[in-house]
Structure 1
């Protein structure tokens, strides 16, 4: 039996990928425009576009308006051990399970932004407010020093939180950050839950993370509940490109799964 023939668009994608890997096209450079590239390869415009879009879905290139497809800097994949323990650093305050390694320097890309913006439906539901209500959002893009943007972090603070602890809306929230200010205002000890899902990024998220809108992202959402009201007062959404991270958990044996296996006695 004959093997199925590799589609032409896949052959072209493989060839361009090799050129990216060997440095023919370096990070930040643009691939040849679709029309001349298609003519040079002797294929249709749509075949060439399918090849570029395949590379975009892999996170190797990104479509930029009026420029074309631009080669992205190859990110390093990081293993995240998913624990459930929140620790505390004397200098930084609470530390949640994340991709950071001990003593590893991280940097902020651009400037952190604090602004009152319309709350999306999911955040509004947690806070018990109408979707679109102007709500405080603290946004920052961070990564290990010297690496491309690794994560976009949005912290939403409820109107109640801002009223009780006005300092959470300021540039500097003081030692321990906004969580310490909330707990000092009577909401401590805050209790947290976390959910994780995979989705496609919004256009502004893709721009900030320098990825294609076709690149799936890992989204983790941590919800902090007030001990006083038992209602959510802060929601932190972390968005990480899917090609940058892998989750790791060490599985434990329950008593029923212990070794050696207990023999089954005949009835």
Structure 2
């Protein structure tokens, strides 16, 4: 029996992948344009493009408007011990995350605080119609010297902005926006976190410098006011899937004790 023949686009993708791995095309370098490369290889435009798209799906390159496919930097993957304890540091509350309390991360671009149409998920938490303009605090950060690691959007409810205007300001003061909310009567805030994996939107992929084919980890933390018992803030953190892995220590309950007694089923 003869072995199945490898598709031409896959052969081309394998060849370009090797060139990326050996440094022929280093991080930040554009791959050769599709049309002339296809002609040089004696294949169709569609076949060459399929090879590049396969590399994009692997997270090795991404498509950049007016440039083409650009090689991505291989990020360092962080192992994050996943706990559920919120602590207090010199700069305010510290939530379970990929950074240490004493680690100062780089900011990519300018942080933004502006009224922005709310996505459905956020609007539902606040009981408003999707698309309602709400205050959004946005920042893109990473460990020092690394490519963008996370996109963080914090949405404030209309009640939050009304009661604590400084929480919506670009400069919130010591302790950040959360201290301003609690000082305004909403403390102590309680939080609940939801984690899921999804595909990124085009804007998210652009800000995180990843391909739209790269899945992302999304954590959503909803802060509930002690005064109204309603959500007062929603923080959504988006992290490329190749940047982080969550680690949880597993514990035995009393029912799982060792050794097993003879009376217990085996």
Normalised-by-shorter TM-score class:
over 0.9
Could you tell me which runs of 5 or more consecutive residues in structure 1 were left unpaired when the two chains were aligned.
Answer: none
With 176-185 and 100-109 compared, the bigger mean Cα shift is at 100-109
Q: Supply the distance in 2 between the matched residues of 1:121 and 1:265 (Cα, whole angstroms).
A: 50
Could you tell me which runs of 5 or more consecutive residues in structure 2 were left unpaired when the two chains were aligned.
Answer: none
* Counterpart secondary structure, 2:259: coil
- Residue 248 of structure 2 corresponds to which residue in structure 1? 249
- Residue 132 of structure 1 corresponds to which residue in structure 2? 131
* Counterpart secondary structure, 1:122: helix
Scaled by the length of structure 2, the TM-score of the pair is: 0.95
1:200-235 residue CA offsets vs partner (Å, 9 max, x unmatched): 111111111111111111110000000010000000
- Residue 202 of structure 1 corresponds to which residue in structure 2? 201
* Counterpart secondary structure, 2:141: strand
Scaled by the length of structure 1, the TM-score of the pair is: 0.95
Q: Supply the distance in 2 between the matched residues of 1:96 and 1:5 (Cα, whole angstroms).
A: 51
1:21-44 residue CA offsets vs partner (Å, 9 max, x unmatched): 111001111101112222222322
CA RMSD in angstroms, aligned pairs only: 1.5
Q: Supply the distance in 1 between the matched residues of 2:210 and 2:264 (Cα, whole angstroms).
A: 59
- Number of equivalent positions: 265
* Counterpart secondary structure, 2:73: coil
- Residue 122 of structure 2 corresponds to which residue in structure 1? 123
The change in CA–CA distance for 1:184 and 1:26 in structure 2 (over 3 A counts) is same
- Residue 25 of structure 2 corresponds to which residue in structure 1? 25
Once the 2 structures are TM-superposed, how far is the Cα of residue 256 of structure 1 from its aligned partner?
2.0
- Residue 52 of structure 2 corresponds to which residue in structure 1? 52
Q: Supply the distance in 2 between the matched residues of 1:34 and 1:8 (Cα, whole angstroms).
A: 15
- Residue 211 of structure 2 corresponds to which residue in structure 1? 212
Once the 2 structures are TM-superposed, how far is the Cα of residue 103 of structure 1 from its aligned partner?
3.1
